[in-house]
Structure 1
Amino acid sequence: MAAANAHYYATRDPLGASGDFTTAPEISQMFGELIGLWCADLWDRAGRPDIAWVELGPGRGTLAADAVRAMARAGLTPPVHFVETSPVLRAAQAARVPGAAWHDAVSTLPTDRPLIVVANEFFDALPIRQLVRAGAGWHERLVACQDLLFLPIAGKQVPDTIIPPGLRDAPPGSIIETSPASVAVMRALAQAIAAQGGAVLAIDYGYEGPAIGDTLQAIRAHAFANPFETPGDQDLTAHVDFATLAAAALAEGAHASAVIGQGTLLTALGIDARAATLAAAAPDRAAGIAADRERLTGAMGDLFKALAIIAPTWPSPAGFA
């Protein structure tokens, strides 16, 4: 999964009608604007310190451009840092957010100031491991290749002690997913904000685990595809286990919010009022603006979850009870 996605993102712009999928920032400017105001409000209530603003996996830079514009209106004009390895997407980001700095990993982010980090549809693309119940035991799921045909197979048996107790007796064929890469990124971010101040806002489709289920999927041309076909030519993702991310942050001394739906967060941040303002300014686009608002807060608002990780000395962020 890591190798396939590294090639996939390095060689194309996957977004939009001509690509493979669309993200919330590409649906409407309202998404990035509200995220920017969330950041500005938190910064204001933290005493307006000198911060660095960071986005992980910023796509075309659309969210960042909308967020930067909204933050500036609130008086926040921080240096912008992107964690992005794709040269194709870096070029698109540079066009939308001039002056940004790029990083290959979170380990090189600034260490001399608080960080406000946004990770929208970032963790879902990080590689996962799967464990499958086969016979009387659990086995790591591997990928076999024969004549360029890839397919999943059961590997060696693993000790039951690594399986959550409530899931050990699941029926044969059951699958549990873990993402050590996601945990490593979250622990590094949480360690940084616990020491420096700041917050992380993670938004993605996912669940509060641990849970049984195979969520590995491939998207190509806006439709589901076989994840074991044409590796490197389609987007591979898996649902994010927000409970595990929260636990990783807590282990590093940061605080974690409750997990809420994207729709709940956007509604609390004022998407209805923003949609009304945009519709009043462009009456011919009112129906489209209303449809975009519904898309972001309706079905997508339930599927996508939001989690805030906060420095112990920082205030609670808006939208999270």
Structure 2
Amino acid sequence: MNLLEERLRMVIGADGPLPLDRYMTLALTDPESGYYARLQDIGGSGDFVTAPEISQMFGELLGLWMADMWRRAGLPEDLILVEAGPGRGTLMADALRAMRRAAPSLADDHEIWLVETSESLKTIQKERLEGFDVHWAASVEDLPERPMILIANEFLDALPVRQLVRRGDGLVERAVGLHDDSLAIVEIEPQGDVPAGLPPMTEGEVIEIGPARAAAVRAIAAQIASQGGAALLIDYGHEMTVPGDTLQAMKGHAFHPLLEAPGEADITAHVDFAAVARAADAGGLSVHGPIGQRQFLLRLGIEARLAQLLKNADRETGAGLTAGFRRLTDPTHMGHLFKVLCISRTDIGVPTGYVTEEAFGTRA
């Protein structure tokens, strides 16, 4: 039993079972024993790997996307470049390298803001982005009120979710309690608002709702609506609000029991992109997608970038580049499960990488 589990047992003993979103928050963000306080690495030696760590092409193409959206927004001089959930800073470093070729003033003359809570990752990010004007915010709500181009890759999946279960004619909420002196999933009365319009559910089916995700998306959308700019949200998940239990813990690139050794494994849940789009759409903005990561990267020119890199690559490097391309775009890997949604001011028009018919609410 680790220190965080001991503290959780004390809280449960005093106040009763913890709803899953509260458990997830403590397991991930407790300042002393939470996962992000422990997190030292992302990639092969960590617990998971993200797209920027798979291939430089991912960050480079997003850097060009940011540059193009800056132009479409009218080249605002006070614009900030933002990444939410920046990991080791790899994505932003690759993006800035591409920006310096395509729009050097954007990379060199604008503040970079990273939404990050892990002190250990902040240290890595500072080293990776040395020479740039980098600032940190604890949440998207803490960003300066200025026009922004925001990228969030695998940010929303780590925000806490609630799980509701159909029991008879009503719903109960999943929580973490104690059973036989062990942490266990129990069912309690719903501890917060139950959204209207949930899909039909059969007995025992689970549906996940994400108030924290909706709040973060509304904050991003509100800033874009008032200040200008755009946001690109990339994550794994589903296009429609449907029942399903997707909450999972990962440690050492393998699934880990959700309640075992809290704080020592990453915890995520699939993103409900329909709910995200509805939260953004409430701000009266242009919302496009979600579309598959494969389709988005192909439209941005990943095949041409791969061909360019292969011209000067040795056999081993070329094999790595090709493997990275396949992992990012193959429908059986990340190409289909990962989806891309864009929030932008309507004066920007159809955002780069999308077509008119992909505006949210226009598709059958």
Is TM > 0.5 for Structure 1 vs Structure 2? yes
State the match for 1:40 in structure 2: 67
State the match for 1:5 in structure 2: 28
The answer on whether the counterparts of 2:164 and 2:190 sit within 8 Å (CA) in structure 1 is no
State the match for 1:62 in structure 2: 90
Query: Which residue among 238, 241, 248 is the counterpart of 2:279?
Result: 248
The within-5 A match list for 1:1-321 is 1-6=24-29, 7-50=34-77, 51-75=79-103, 76-77=106-107, 78-98=110-130, 99-111=133-145, 113-146=146-179, 149-156=182-189, 162=195, 164=197, 166-167=199-200, 170-284=201-315, 285-298=317-330, 299-321=333-355
The answer on whether the counterparts of 1:125 and 1:236 sit within 8 Å (CA) in structure 2 is yes
* Counterparts of 1:279 and 1:97, CA distance in 2: 26
Structure 1 position 228, deviation (Å) = 1.5
Task: Summarize the Cα distance change of 1:136–1:226 in structure 2 as closer, same or farther, 3 Å threshold.
Answer: same
Number of equivalences: 318
Amino acid at match of 1:56: A
The answer on whether the counterparts of 2:137 and 2:143 sit within 8 Å (CA) in structure 1 is yes
| Cα offsets for 1:50-101 (capped at 9, x unmatched) | 2100000100000010011111211122210001111000000001112310
Structure 1 position 313, deviation (Å) = 2.1
* Counterparts of 1:158 and 1:84, CA distance in 2: 28
Task: Summarize the Cα distance change of 1:147–1:62 in structure 2 as closer, same or farther, 3 Å threshold.
Answer: farther
| Cα offsets for 1:22-48 (capped at 9, x unmatched) | 000000100000010011111122222
* Counterparts of 1:70 and 1:196, CA distance in 2: 25
The answer on whether the counterparts of 1:144 and 1:150 sit within 8 Å (CA) in structure 2 is yes
* Counterparts of 1:230 and 1:147, CA distance in 2: 17
* Counterparts of 2:154 and 2:340, CA distance in 1: 10
State the match for 2:20 in structure 1: none
Structure 1 position 271, deviation (Å) = 0.6
> Percent identity at matched positions?
49
The answer on whether the counterparts of 2:85 and 2:114 sit within 8 Å (CA) in structure 1 is yes
Task: Summarize the Cα distance change of 1:23–1:157 in structure 2 as closer, same or farther, 3 Å threshold.
Answer: closer
The answer on whether the counterparts of 2:207 and 2:242 sit within 8 Å (CA) in structure 1 is yes
Gaps of 5+ in 2: 1-23, 356-364
Structure 1 position 11, deviation (Å) = 1.6
Query: How well do the aligned residues superpose, as a CA RMSD in angstroms?
Result: 1.8
The answer on whether the counterparts of 2:37 and 2:118 sit within 8 Å (CA) in structure 1 is yes
Task: Summarize the Cα distance change of 1:161–1:95 in structure 2 as closer, same or farther, 3 Å threshold.
Answer: closer
Task: Summarize the Cα distance change of 1:138–1:18 in structure 2 as closer, same or farther, 3 Å threshold.
Answer: same
Task: Summarize the Cα distance change of 1:148–1:17 in structure 2 as closer, same or farther, 3 Å threshold.
Answer: farther
Q: Which moved more, 1:75-84 or 1:299-308?
A: 75-84
| Cα offsets for 1:108-167 (capped at 9, x unmatched) | 2121x3100000000000000000112342101111135762221111268997453541
Q: Alignment partner of 2:166: what SS? A: strand
* Counterparts of 1:147 and 1:122, CA distance in 2: 35
* Counterparts of 1:84 and 1:161, CA distance in 2: 29
The answer on whether the counterparts of 2:199 and 2:241 sit within 8 Å (CA) in structure 1 is no
| Cα offsets for 1:259-296 (capped at 9, x unmatched) | 10111111110111111111111132212211110000
The answer on whether the counterparts of 2:199 and 2:243 sit within 8 Å (CA) in structure 1 is no
Structure 1 position 250, deviation (Å) = 1.2
* Counterparts of 2:39 and 2:205, CA distance in 1: 35
Q: Alignment partner of 2:189: what SS? A: strand
Gaps of 5+ in 1: none
The answer on whether the counterparts of 2:84 and 2:114 sit within 8 Å (CA) in structure 1 is yes
Q: Which moved more, 1:120-129 or 1:222-231?
A: 222-231
The answer on whether the counterparts of 2:41 and 2:88 sit within 8 Å (CA) in structure 1 is no
The answer on whether the counterparts of 2:199 and 2:242 sit within 8 Å (CA) in structure 1 is no
Structure 1 position 307, deviation (Å) = 0.1
